[in-house]
Amino acid sequence: MSGDEKKLKVEARAPRGLGDREAGELAATNRMLDVIRSVYELYGFEALETPAIEYTDALGKFLPDQDRPNEGVFSFQDDDEQWLSLRYDLTAPLARFVAQNYDRLPKPYRSYRCGPVYRNEKPGPGRFRQFMQFDADTVGSASPAADAEICMMAADALEKLGVARGDYVIKINSRKVLDGVMEAIGIGGEENAGRRLVVLRAIDKLDRLGPDGVRQLLGEGRKDESGDFTKGAGLSLPAIDTILSFSLGGQYEEGKPQFDLFGLLGKSETGAQGARELMEIEDLARDAGYGSDRIRIDPSVVRGLEYYTGPVFEADLTFETRDEKGHPVRFGSVGGGGRYDGLVGRFRNENTPATGFSIGVSRLFAALKLVGSPIVTAQPHVGPVVVLVLDRDRLADYQRMVAQLRGAGIAAELYLGAAGMKAQMKYADRRRAPLVIIQGSDEKAKGEVQIKDLVAGARAAAAIATNEEWKAARPAQFSAPESELAEQVAQALAVQREQA
């Protein structure tokens, strides 16, 4: 090959932030999704799938005052020049679906959805540009009972997945309460909207930056280790203290705030209303038997900043793990959600209240591996039985054996490559084949097949030192009449499964 030709070769690589998932991980992920699905269906939620692509305006993601889609959203133009975008979550598409089918849907409408979402952002460790979410939502109920139910369901799902009670907590807070606190320190009103955003973002960083970092962000600003400066909210010291004492010290004990929340919120009707809703959610959870070890009010929870209108939820894993440097680190959030009463209303005149919860599937998957949940750690992927090809002109015979096995419900395949027997064995090994079927001229003459157990063979290999011995021993294989192929293979597979 000349250098010129070589240069033309396309480099085989996935775009950054996007990855392939192979058989083992797919199987484990599917087992995990099945568990979540069964819990959600138990709660009476029904399946829904919406397309990965939506009109950009339906997602509400045009840049302000520009007819160009927001950065961070993958977008392209249809042949009629309409903007289309890849969905960046599963909530906005649900709102579109409900609005579009409003008249025929039972209300409140409960549904769950699972699928990939896309974000055009800089990827990082554990952050991808395509990732999977699993959502459940109740549309058309303003009742705190709907919020409470979503939280209980999230708790049930985590436990069913193998996260022990005490290793997780569903934290709840309310955007109304947060707004009330900000009103109390004098940054209510339209003119302070930008500043409130900065405050919420600062609170959201509590777990990562700690109180001191957040204090800086609420005040003048903060300079991080890389030398980058983030401008702060410019609050007064008393205001900063109020925010921090609310977010940090404002832990509730069984429905009773540790400090005078209602006094603080006295000036703000929305704030007081938010607090009442929060306590009602908590009461409902308690009445259903969910203690503060599972569902509890936590004023530091902020969540997504755009469309939440009331209660917000966050599922946190509380057990400690260690990072690559050995430092103890908390796993953190594996899902979140809240009430978004305005979303469906973008499509319709009357407002439609809605609440939901979203699980970050790959993050949760990583967490389940850490806690050793059998749902994701069990059974390595098992490949098909491979029928080796020894005599090239007898392909039809081998194919018949494969068909026989498949007819008996056994996953099997014919070796389709061109290599010799040794390479075929390596192939079977790499496919994680449980067994291979060997029939050369000797066996053919006797009407027999050799059935070789690759799993038992690998065990036997440990005791054998030389290649000659290894070849001569032919460990873990036996011959069987060709007519009994399927039965004998089925039996060998059953034995293998028992020993696993």
Applying CB under 7 A, among 33, 160, 470, 490 the residue interacting with RNA is 470
When binding is defined by CB under 7 A, the residue of 130, 273, 351, 477 that contacts RNA is 477
Binding mask 125-144 for RNA (x = CB under 7 A): x-------------------
Q: For residues 121 and 280, which CB has a smaller minimum distance to RNA in the complex?
A: 121
Between strands 354-360 and 328-339, the pairing is antiparallel
Q: What is the footprint of RNA within residues 293-332 (CB under 7 A)?
A: 304-307
115 or 475: whose CB is closer to RNA? 475
- Say how many residues touch RNA, by CB under 7 A: 71
Enumerate residues 80-119 that contact RNA by CB under 7 A: 88-89, 91-92, 119
Q: Which is nearer to RNA, 104 or 418 (CB)?
A: 418
In whole angstroms, the minimum distance from the beta carbon of 447 to RNA comes to 13
What is the footprint of RNA within residues 154-173 (CB under 7 A)?
Answer: none
Q: Which is nearer to RNA, 23 or 197 (CB)?
A: 197
Span 170-229, contacts to RNA by CB under 7 A? 197-198, 201, 205, 208-209, 222, 224-228
Q: How far is the CB of 207 from RNA (least distance, A)?
A: 11
Three-class secondary structure assignment of the chain: CCHHHHHHCCCCCCCCCCCCCCHHHHHHHHHHHHHHHHHHHHCCCEECCCCCEEEHHHHCCECCCCCCECCCCCEEECCCCCEEEECCCCHHHHHHHHHHCHHHCCCCEEEEEEEEEECCCCCECCECCEEEEEEEEEECCCCHHHHHHHHHHHHHHHHHCCCCCCCEEEEEEEHHHHHHHHHHCCCCCHHHHHHHHHHHHHHHCHHHHHHHHHHHHHCCEEECCCCCEEECCCCCHHHHHHHHHHHHHCCEECCEECCCHHHHCCCCHHHHHHHHHHHHHHHHHHHCCCCCCCEEECCCCCCCCCCCCCEEEEEEEEEEEECCCCCEEEEEEEEEEEECCCCHHHCCCCCCCEEEEEEEHHHHHHHHHHCCCHHHHCCCCCCCEEECCCCHHHHHHHHHHHHHHHHCCCCEEECCCCCCHHHHHHHHHHCCCCEEEECCHHHHHHCEEEEEEHHHHHHHHCCCCCHHHHHHHCCCEEEEEHHHHHHHHHHHHHHHHHHC
d(CA 185, CA 415): 74
Residue (399 or 441) nearer to RNA, CB: 441
Return the range that interacts with RNA (CB under 7 A); candidates 149-157, 259-267, 313-321, 415-423. 415-423
Query: Which one of the spans 2-10, 32-40, 98-106, 370-378 is the region binding RNA (CB under 7 A)?
Result: 2-10
Of residues 456, 480, 489, 492, which one binds RNA by CB under 7 A?
456
Closest contact distance (angstroms) between CB of 133 and RNA is 11
Q: At closest approach, how far in Å is the CB of 417 from RNA?
A: 9
Q: Binding of RNA at residue 124 (CB under 7 A)?
A: yes
Residue whose CB is less far from RNA, 197 or 288: 197
**C-alpha to C-alpha distance for 377 and 110, rounded to whole angstroms:** 31
- Residue from 113, 171, 363, 452 touching RNA (CB under 7 A): that is 452
CB of 267 to RNA, least distance (A): 27
CB of 283 to RNA, least distance (A): 27
By CB under 7 A, the residues from 22 to 81 that bind RNA are 61, 70, 72-73
Report in angstroms how near the CB of residue 261 gets to RNA at its nearest.
25
The one among 23, 419, 494, 495 contacting RNA by CB under 7 A:
419
| Euclidean distance between CA atoms 323 and 378, whole angstroms | 24
Cα separation, 47 vs 110, in Å, equals 9
Q: Is 14 in the site for RNA (CB under 7 A)?
A: no
Query: Least distance to RNA from the beta carbon of 475, Å?
Result: 6
- Please give the residues from 424 up to 443 whose contact with RNA meets the rule CB under 7 A: 425-426, 429, 438, 440-443
Whole-angstrom CA distances from 95 to 187, 381, 403 are 31, 38, 49
495 binds RNA (CB under 7 A): no
User: Residues 193, 395, 408, 423: which binds RNA (CB under 7 A)?
Assistant: 423
Of residues 362-401, those binding RNA (CB under 7 A): 390
Nearer to RNA, 3 or 372 (CB): 3
Residue 356 contacts residue 138 (beta carbons within 8 Å): yes
CB of 179 to RNA, least distance (A): 16
Q: Applying CB under 7 A, does 450 fall inside the site for RNA? A: yes
Q: Measured from the CB atom, is 376 or 438 closer to RNA? A: 438
339 contributes a contact to RNA by CB under 7 A:
no
Could you tell me if 346 and 60 are in contact, meaning their C-beta atoms sit under 8 angstroms apart?
Answer: yes
